[in-house]
Amino acid sequence: MLVGWVYGYSPIKRRSVHKLGIWKIRCPVGNVVVKGYLSAIKTRSDNPITYDVTIIGAGIAGSCFAAALGSFEIFKNLKIAVVDPNDIKDVANWIPPTDSFNTGAWKYTYADRVMPYSKVVVTDFLGQGSLNFADLISEGVSSEHPAFLIENSNLHSACAKALIHNNNSNITFFQGKVVNFSSFDSSNSTTSHNYSDNASSLTFPQILLSSNQTIRSKLVVAADGSNSLIRRYANIPSSSLSYNQFGLVANLVFDQLNQTAFQRFLPTGPIAILPLSNGFANLVWSIDSHYVDKLKNVSDITFIKLVNMAFRYQNYSDFEYILNSIHHDGSLPESLDLDQEFNWRINSQNQNGSFSTLINSFNEPIQLPPLVMDITPNSRQGFPLRISNSKKYYSSRIALIGDAAHTMHPLAGMGFNSGVTDSIQLCSLLKNAILTGSDIGSKEYVLKPYNDKRYSQNVLLQAAVDHTFLLFQSQNKMVTCSRGILMNLLNKFPLIKNNIVKSIMY
């Protein structure tokens, strides 16, 4: 139940970045000098080229997997292709926006935009329960920070720089879109226009790009997102279900420095604040669809007040009244003064009018985030929330990773980390195949073991996240009372909380 993934930002486990070999990369400010394989990005060619591994999609999942292959000596003899519509050099040359967040320390990788955190406070609005994961290091979970918050653009750029830093001459980048996917039978040099999962071991996927280049590959890794074209070409069914919610995100500024992540479950969906450096924070607010237009259309000043209310009101009915009073165009009734309403509610909750404490159902104080004082202009964005899972994560010489295989609700912050674990598991199986002299595109030795391992793990994780979502959506008084009591009891057992964190970390 750790605070969730955010659009544009990713909480990532320390162990994952070490296994992928991207954590230690440092790079000077400014444009990255692209040499060798990058400067030789392929131009138009009518002759098909055969590769060992072809990665479709150079987003975070694809570039992380490419960085992993480029980080280990055992993969140096593999001929690897990476296909994406965008130029990888633009990703490597990413420079953080020059706003007030910039501290000017950009001589190395943008480490001051990576925020370690080890303190998490989770609360339940209706059940008045609280869980405080506030002393994970001192309680023996880790001698290091168990998680980091990093911008997707920063991590994506780091992966591109990792490829450049390692001087991977065996990796070639193709800029273009996949326009056709067929099969090539190497035994008789014939091409079938229809891809088949039941092809022989001598049949390879053949990919035609929008640049008229043709690639053949022993293994195709689909990292092309939740609407994966490769998954459709491979005829792998995928089930999907909408949560009828949107994730609303924004960049916030606190009134003081903060290193704690906060999450509060509302009946309309969880709201979470993840800490960044210098008093900044990233917000993700999962909200029912009929409220999202109101929250997107209100002024920045009103939005800031609503965030503070969401974390500080004791009774949900008071907050629900505010939400229902807002017009769909974001305007407020003339009779509603949010400042007056906020101050009155806080004073009625706390005799001293404190902005920093609430009480749980055990009459114990709850730590709250600092007050939000400002918001980065135009940083509010919304995206629909869905859960999806492919029927399987492989076909003949094809493996699905990341969102191409599965997606989940962001409340647990495990969607991206699950995709990273896909890459780690697939890399491990490819390593074993090379060591044993097996075919790297083999169903028996690579693809089916990958599916058997990752499919069950992802289904269990998705089920846990989905049931947590449904549990906290309930407004049944017996359910809300029970979950509040259970949260407050669990909070008194550090060993159990530590085991929860360990199960997420490893």
Q: At 500, which helix (H) or strand (E)?
A: helix 494-505
Confidence band, pLDDT 50/70/90 cuts, at residue 97: low
Q: Tokens at residue 503, please?
A: 């199960």
The single-letter code of the amino acid at 111 is A
Burial of 38 (0-12, 13-18, 19+ CB in 10 A): buried
Provide the angle, in degrees to the nearest 10, between the axes of the packed helices 448-473 and 477-490.
120
Q: Pseudo-torsion of CA 143, 121, 499, 402, nearest 10°?
A: -90
Residue range 115-148+243-383 forms a domain whose CATH class is: alpha beta
Residue pair 201/172 in contact by the 8 Å Cβ criterion: no
Architecture of domain 9-98+150-240+386-471: 3-Layer(bba) Sandwich (3.50)
The candidate with the shortest Cα–Cα distance to 126, out of 491, 490, 471, 357, is: 471
Q: List C-alpha distances in Å: 492 to 133, 264, 342, 489.
A: 11, 19, 32, 6
Question: Mean pLDDT over residues 448-467, rounded?
Answer: 95
Question: Mean pLDDT over residues 429-449, rounded?
Answer: 96
Residue pair 409/240 in contact by the 8 Å Cβ criterion: no
Query: In this model, does residue 392 exceed pLDDT 90?
Result: yes
Instruction: Give one DSSP letter per residue of 260-295, joined into a string.
Output: EEEEEEETTEEEEEEE-GGGEEEEEEEEEHHHHHHH
> Phi and psi at residue 36, in whole multiples of 5°?
60, -115
Query: In this model, does residue 40 exceed pLDDT 50?
Result: no
- List pLDDT tens digits, range 225-271: 999 999 999 999 999 999 999 999 998 999 988 888 999 999 999 99
- Lowest-confidence range among 23-27, 215-219, 220-224, 282-286? 23-27
Residue with tokens 């992802």: 458
- List pLDDT tens digits, range 328-364: 999 999 999 998 988 888 877 765 445 556 777 778 8
Residues 6+ apart with CB under 8 A from 133: 2, 119, 120, 121, 122, 497, 501
**Rounded distance between C-alpha atoms, residue 191 and residue 216, angstroms:** 11
| DSSP assigned state of 217 | E
**Which tops the pLDDT comparison, 47 or 291?**
291
Confidence band, pLDDT 50/70/90 cuts, at residue 413: confident
| DSSP assigned state of 354 | -
Confidence band, pLDDT 50/70/90 cuts, at residue 503: low
What pLDDT does residue 270 have? 96
**Rounded distance between C-alpha atoms, residue 365 and residue 380, angstroms:** 31
Confidence band, pLDDT 50/70/90 cuts, at residue 215: very high
In which order are the strands placed within the sheet that holds 147-151? Answer: 9-13, 147-151, 114-117
**Rounded distance between C-alpha atoms, residue 79 and residue 431, angstroms:** 14
The candidate with the shortest Cα–Cα distance to 251, out of 270, 269, 277, is: 277
**Which tops the pLDDT comparison, 69 or 37?**
69
Residue with tokens 């990532």: 12
Residue pair 186/17 in contact by the 8 Å Cβ criterion: no
Confidence band, pLDDT 50/70/90 cuts, at residue 19: low
Query: In this model, does residue 185 exceed pLDDT 60?
Result: yes
3-state secondary structure of 133: strand
| DSSP assigned state of 412 | G
Domain boundaries in the chain?
A: 9-98+150-240+386-471, 115-148+243-383
Q: Kindly give the pairing relationship between strand 130-133 and strand 280-288.
A: unpaired
What pLDDT does residue 163 have? 73
What sign has the CA pseudo-torsion 190, 196, 198, 201? positive
What sign has the CA pseudo-torsion 262, 263, 266, 271? positive
> What's this model's pTM, rounded to 2 decimal places?
0.83
The candidate with the shortest Cα–Cα distance to 414, out of 423, 404, 426, 402, is: 402
The single-letter code of the amino acid at 419 is G
